[in-house]
């Protein structure tokens, strides 16, 4: 929360709400620019996630006492996708919906694999990872079967995030 003046009004929150509303409007009006920017952003996230998968491979091996080789394969996959998205941002217009849906599926497979290894350690986390993994698989399969829905979903989710953020900050301006 940003500081309020003596009347309980926050100019900072008002400014942030205006910026969020502008971002929402831009996201609704320019889905192509949003997809390209999101492609670069996902590229950075994929690189970080790929490095972390590779770096934490020994820890996974020690904790689960098995050879979690899929963690390395997925880590390398994330690195390659991330580098490609950063080096060729225009490719994200075509590939981002496929990558977005595939990411759901691949990450869900990883969650399900981890869930089965957590089953012996903690039943609660097993069920949480397992259910979220199955849900992610269904979402990924739905998105990959209808790429137009994936494109609209990506742009709309970003726009809705900014719209909700703008409303929250506008409320914070006066409360």
H/E element, 1: none
Three-state SS for 3-47 is CCCCCCCCHHHHHHHHHHHHHHHHHHHCHHHHHHHHHHHHHHHHH
| Sequence ranges of the domains in the chain | 11-174
CA distance 137 to 124: 20
Q: Which long-range contacts (CB under 8 A, 24 or more apart) does 66-70 make?
A: 66/117, 68/113, 68/117, 70/109, 70/110, 70/113
pLDDT truncated to tens, each residue of the chain (175 aa)? 456 666 767 788 888 889 989 988 988 888 778 888 878 888 899 999 999 888 888 877 777 777 778 888 989 999 998 998 899 888 877 777 887 788 889 888 988 888 888 788 878 888 888 998 899 899 889 888 887 788 778 788 888 888 988 888 888 888 6
Answer yes or no: pTM beyond 0.75.
no
Residue 115: count other Cβ atoms within 10 Å of its Cβ.
Answer: 19
Instruction: Burial-class residue 117 by CB neighbours within 10 Å (0-12, 13-18, 19+).
Output: middle
Nearest CA among 75, 44, 43 for reference residue 57: 75
């Amino acid at each position: 929360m940003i500081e309020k003046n003596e009347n309980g009004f926050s100019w900072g929150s008002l400014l942030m709400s205006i910026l969020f509303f502008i971002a929402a409007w831009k996201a609704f009006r320019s889905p192509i620019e949003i997809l390209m920017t999101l492609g670069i952003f996902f590229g950075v996230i994929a690189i970080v996630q790929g490095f972390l998968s590779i770096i934490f491979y020994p820890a996974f091996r020690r904790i689960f006492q098995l050879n979690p080789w899929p963690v390395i394969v997925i880590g390398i996959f994330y690195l390659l996708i991330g580098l490609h998205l950063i080096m060729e941002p225009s490719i994200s217009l075509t590939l981002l919906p496929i990558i977005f849906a595939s990411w759901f599926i691949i990450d869900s497979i990883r969650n399900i694999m981890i869930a089965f290894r957590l089953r012996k350690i903690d039943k609660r986390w097993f069920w949480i990872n397992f259910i979220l993994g199955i849900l992610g698989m269904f979402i990924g399969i739905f998105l990959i079967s209808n790429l137009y829905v994936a494109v609209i979903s990506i742009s709309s989710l970003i726009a809705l995030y900014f719209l909700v953020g703008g409303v929250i900050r506008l409320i914070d301006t006066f409360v």
